[in-house]
Amino acid sequence: MNGKTHLMGGLAACAVVETVVDGSDLSPLFYLSGMVGAFLPDICHVHSTIGRRLPLLSRIVSFLFGHRTFTHSILFLAVVYGLLHVFLPDARNVQLGLFAGMISHIILDMATVRGVKLFFPFSLRVRLPLFIRTGGKFEGIVQFALVIWLVIWSYQFVQTWM
């Protein structure tokens, strides 16, 4: 999926988390972290949104692992969890946001022809039964569905404040 789809997917995942988790203390930092998390797995791709911003790190990760392998796996989620546990143990908003974003990214990429190596270092590629081609016309439909979801969620969110 492209950057726009991942961004909307990350925000939609944050909206879901906010309704499931007690959202009273979820701040804008939560949504910002969700957006970062939505881009983070594509650090393995030098031309991705995050890869263009962190070119050196992106080249190193791409060289070591290739595209859609380690950074799109359960192992990567575990490594990030460990790093957050050590360096930001009390930042609940950052932790929840990053994970919502990263998981949405991996699920969206699982809905593409190529799938992801979810169980890296094992080479098995995981793909959802319903999948599309990245950048194809159906990706626009996915984006549209995510926007509709976000509009409905925003409307419900605003109503709770009135």
Q: Using N-to-C axis directions, what is the helix angle for 3-20 and 92-110, rounded to 10°?
A: 130
Q: Which is nearer to Zn ion, 14 or 26 (CB)?
A: 14
Using CB under 5 A, pick the residue from 5, 12, 73, 109 that binds Zn ion. Answer: 109
Q: How many residues bind Zn ion (CB under 5 A)?
A: 3
CB burial of residue 85 (10 Å; 0-12, 13-18, 19+): exposed
Task: Quote the tokens at residue 71.
Answer: 């950074």
Q: With DSSP H G I counted as helix, E B as strand and the rest as coil, what are the percentages for the chain, rounded to 5?
A: 70, 0, 25
Q: Which is nearer to Zn ion, 42 or 139 (CB)?
A: 42
Instruction: Quote the least distance from Cβ 8 to Zn ion, whole Å.
Output: 14
* Closest listed residue to residue 58, CA positions, set 44, 37, 69: 44
**Minimum CB distance to Zn ion, residue 68 (Å):** 6
Output 55 or 154, the one with its CB closest to Zn ion.
Answer: 55
To Zn ion, the closest distance from the beta carbon of 93 in angstroms equals: 24
Query: What backbone phi and psi angles, to 5 degrees, belong to 116?
Result: -135, 160
18 vs 109, which CB is nearer to Zn ion? 109
Q: Judged by CB, which is closer to Zn ion: 33, or 71? A: 71
Q: Please report whether residue 139 would count as binding Zn ion according to CB under 5 A.
A: no
Query: Which stretches of 92-136 are DSSP H helices?
Result: 92-110
Q: Which of 5, 39, 42, 120 binds Zn ion (CB under 5 A)?
A: 42
Question: Where does this chain touch Zn ion (CB under 5 A) — which range of 16-24, 29-37, 42-50, 140-148?
Answer: 42-50
List CB contacts of 46: < 8 A, sequence separation 6 or more: 52, 55, 58, 59, 62
Q: Residue numbers of the site for Zn ion (CB under 5 A)?
A: 41-42, 109
